[in-house]
Structure 1
Amino acid sequence: MRRTTIAVTAVSALLSLSLAGCAKDPSEAQPGGGGETATQQQNAALHDKLPDKIKQAGKLVSVNSGSFPPYEIVGSNRDLSGAAADLSDALGQVLGVKVEHVTVEGLSGVLTGIKAGRYDFALGPIGDFPEREADNDFVDWVQEFVVFAVPKGNPKQIKDLDSACGLRVAVMAAGSAEKVIKNQAQKCTAEGKPAIEVQSYKDQPSSILSVKSGRADAFFSSQAPLTYFVDQSKGELELAAVGQKNGFDDLFQGAVVPKDSALRDVLLAGLQELFDNGTYAKIMAKWGLDGNKLDKPGVNLAGSKG
């Protein structure tokens, strides 16, 4: 099937700019913003284990690809709110450093920038898959599910992946959902069913706008952010195909660091402290993410489950 990448319209561009004003390099990074959590006690032993470059700078630079609510919501002043912002504030306090946030365009920009050493890590959460673990390590702190956001009443009657044949489906470019829906598009045509028109957008706001404006029949993405957008739509949207595998097995998401980075185990221990003292659970509950909690953080859980 011909790959279709949709250019962002002027309206989408304005929305994206308002939600995801971008800092293009660490010098433009903004301090972590969301934190309405209790002040954490610094763990001196973990601070000492940080890479020297980070200790000398007194900060960790975290990269994101724009608004991914309710985890990451990038404001017009490049400030970050959401569950990941609250968690990063608490994590920085545990490690004794500031966490600053940089927004780049697209997931590929995030992963490339981390690999090149331009950024220390991405708190994410970003989907952990065995193929991504070849070049990155994941410190997973979320379990996610993938569903559809559709107009109210689900007019196309989407119940699962197979019922998406013949429809216009929006996805985030370079994400795991894009790969799954493209595989499904091939399956549709192989079975003699109408093809899926895959519309690939650079971020969540542009993707959801495509459904609200009627350019797409559905947006296929992670359930937590789609739930947020449905709640914000004032009755315009609803979820579909909830409770189905939808092309995924157990789906873990988390922070990303360069492969075999010394930072990996420090982040794991810092997150474990926030799990143990109840901060993680409070943050997840605050942002409506109780159903996405893990019992404990883990490294490269996708590979360990595979």
Structure 2
Amino acid sequence: MKRLVTAATAAALLALSACGASDDTTDEAAATGGGDAVTAEFSQEAADLLPQSIQDSGTMTWTGAPKPPFYIDGEDGFTGLGPDLQTAMEQVLGVEIEFQPTDGLNSVLLSLQSGRADFFVGGVRATPERQQDFDLVAWLTVGPSYLIAADRADEISTPEDLCGLTVSYEEGSSMQSFVEALAEECGDDTLTPLPLTADGSRLAVDSGRADAYAANESDARYIQLQREGRYEVVVEDTGTSDLTAGMSLKGSGLGEAMTAAFQALIDQGVYQDLMDRWNLGDNAVDEPVLNPAS
């Protein structure tokens, strides 16, 4: 299934947020998700599933790398979907959650394995290999996507429409394999890959050097949310391999508790509100799944 996320959708979400939009020559973020305070109801069922050590201490530690829309590092601390979820989960589980930032996925894994952190929230794929060492809670779906200029939406509405055009991507990222696969599908109608930095890839779309920027869907939607009316996002669903998961150490028991906590947020409507706030409403799951790659 392919879908187009319109600029109008992002604009409607921005209208609900507390931050206004601006358009300046530095092309800084025009807006972020923001919005009303997060409130959720306590779930005894989820709290009872917490490991005894967390129940006794009343605290747990989350970790993650500063990466929008999950964690956005600003002058006043972190904002983003991660902090919003953290606030909601504190209320659902009845514990205090501390956040310990890291500088990348390798550091996240080490923090979980060493016990410095209990749980990770961010953008990692649920894979059988990862499930060997960690319990994964699938709570979001994302896949490869293509950021295009809004005025080209009629021309480019599916990935196949990029055949014969130029697609930029962050060199060394997972998007490279998707661009290469699409180029192979295009055959003689040559697609030209353009490896750049992440910022360079987006700017290439702005300048016309590239027709689309291949990016993780959550990244593309955040860029769209920041810059009202400028971009649209073309997405191709590729199946359960694109489930995004939270992680805890294998066998710790926290995976079961977090699965129940996410379910409580879904049942209360808080989860969907947060997904909508960060322009990820179409990526919400109906229910969280523990270790979906089994």
Do both proteins adopt the same fold according to a TM-score greater than 0.5, normalized to the shorter chain?
A: yes
2:77 matches 1:87: no
Counterpart contact for 2:142–2:283, Cα < 8 Å: yes
Change (3 A) 1:45 1:166: closer
What CA deviation, in whole Å up to 9, does each residue of 1:120-147 have, x standing for no partner?
2212243223333333321011122431
Cα shift at 1:267: 0.8
Q: Which has the higher contact order (CA 8 A, sep 6+)?
A: 2
Unmatched tracts of structure 1, length 5 or more: 1-14, 20-32
Q: Please name the residue that 1:199 is paired with.
A: 196
Counterpart contact for 1:34–1:80, Cα < 8 Å: no
Counterpart contact for 2:137–2:290, Cα < 8 Å: yes
What CA deviation, in whole Å up to 9, does each residue of 1:148-184 have, x standing for no partner?
11234449x6642683677352238554x34433555
What CA deviation, in whole Å up to 9, does each residue of 1:190-222 have, x standing for no partner?
979566233354xxx676456446776533223
Counterpart contact for 1:168–1:199, Cα < 8 Å: no
1-structure distance, mates of 2:272, 2:187? 45
Cα shift at 1:49: 3.1
Alignment of 1:1-306 (within 5 A): 36-41=37-42, 43=44, 46-47=47-48, 49-52=50-53, 54-55=54-55, 57-69=57-69, 71-82=70-81, 84-154=82-152, 159-160=158-159, 163=162, 167-171=166-170, 175=174, 177-181=175-179, 184=182, 187=184, 193=190, 196-199=193-196, 201=198, 208=202, 211-212=205-206, 217-240=211-234, 242=235, 244-245=236-237, 248-250=238-240, 251-301=242-292, 303-304=293-294
Unmatched tracts of structure 2, length 5 or more: 1-27
Cα shift at 1:50: 2.1
Counterpart contact for 2:160–2:186, Cα < 8 Å: no
2-structure distance, mates of 1:139, 1:269? 10
Task: Give the residue type in structure 1 aligned to 2:78.
Answer: D
- Report the identity percentage: 26
1-structure distance, mates of 2:232, 2:40? 37
Cα shift at 1:34: 8.0
What CA deviation, in whole Å up to 9, does each residue of 1:211-235 have, x standing for no partner?
4467765332233442332243244
TM-score for both structures, normalised by structure 2: 0.70
- 3-state SS of 2:224 partner: helix
2-structure distance, mates of 1:112, 1:162? 42
What CA deviation, in whole Å up to 9, does each residue of 1:40-98 have, x standing for no partner?
2262872573251x3455322222222322x443323332233x322221112222222
- 3-state SS of 1:196 partner: strand
Q: Please name the residue that 2:3 is paired with.
A: none
2-structure distance, mates of 1:178, 1:118? 33
What CA deviation, in whole Å up to 9, does each residue of 1:260-303 have, x standing for no partner?
332111111122222223322332334343322211111122x2
TM-score for both structures, normalised by structure 1: 0.67
- 3-state SS of 2:125 partner: strand
Paired positions, count: 262
Q: Using the TM superposition, name which of 106-115 and 267-276 deviates more.
A: 106-115
Task: Give the residue type in structure 1 aligned to 2:196.
Answer: Q
Q: Please name the residue that 2:23 is paired with.
A: none
Cα RMSD after superposing both structures: 3.8
